[in-house]
Structure 1
């Protein structure tokens, strides 16, 4: 009698275990069949246990097979649509300025400099674009931060008041003073590269023509393309998204 009862208990236990296993398998299969929510965990844990936020990877597909879509920035005119920028042209000019100052000779806080537009290397050195002009503006700012005197030779001796606005800068050389006290000039060239524009910057003595500082960097295309011309009607004459301009 005891052996039969023990055998009965053993069979009942095996049957119960099999039923539980089957139920767990069916439940897991049912859960896996349900679509999962597209939730991106942007927090990661450091080795010391601290947590920080990381950027989601938009290049990967979501759970439904669709490619991830990054947020887009667009101007009012809709001329630029792309991923949010973490750097702009001024950041690269800042690095160039630090390289120039680190190997600079003869230039001091008493030697005024001028800044010109950067020329396209594969031209007659009389052509530039919006990138070359913006770099010149950024260099004036960066050198002023180092307390190096910068002469803006495009400044006139009067303020022109017009219906379009009040202006003191001009590109007409007849309105400028040709006796600006500039001892050194910052200039450079730009060459198209596979990944962007390769920039060559240098400080040159106006009298000696000697190079007293130099620096190089590569500005990616996605940073260059973020510079939008204000005159969208001129985009038909643009090359690679940047309007060319001829020196006089």
Structure 2
């Protein structure tokens, strides 16, 4: 499901020619990625992480000890995957898709059940939010251009706009999604409410500080998606 969502974002990013609506969100004139095969690499890593999750789960089900090379592979793919989005194209949709895929790998390796589905479903909600916002921007721009007699004056108004009452929807939606990210995978107030076996793929020796750090980092990944999208939407709306 995560790969399909990333492929949908990639498809929209690659098929924007002649469509002003998608050009608004994709920003196809932006600087291209230095690594043309970055998306394929991220998809490959997500697939590899899914395989490692299956292998680790089967070992735990059969009460077998996880091999050291399993842990080495998990650590070696989880770390670099979170750095890869920095090398993506700086277009809005391509960068957000790369961030989504980059942190999906670590989230998958730290998931033991419905959390993986939550990550994909949460990304679909965020995608719906940005499509909603870009639709409002596009429709208001078309309406403004149709009623304006001076394009230069219109551009000046867009660049120097003030806060409006309708802008309050953005922080309200942000707060709702932030709370969903906060409690979507467990009770954040009690770290003991989380299943400790979710860190089994990275560490098998009991280490409370490292285990707690991994669990907390897993909880912050949905926050990161919400914050990145909130930042993108405020820039699209040119909010002061």
Which has more radius of gyration?
Answer: 1
Query: Which has a greater percent of strand?
Result: 1
TM-score, normalised on structure 1?
0.21
With a CA cutoff of 8 Å and minimum separation of 6, indicate the structure with the bigger relative contact order.
Answer: 2
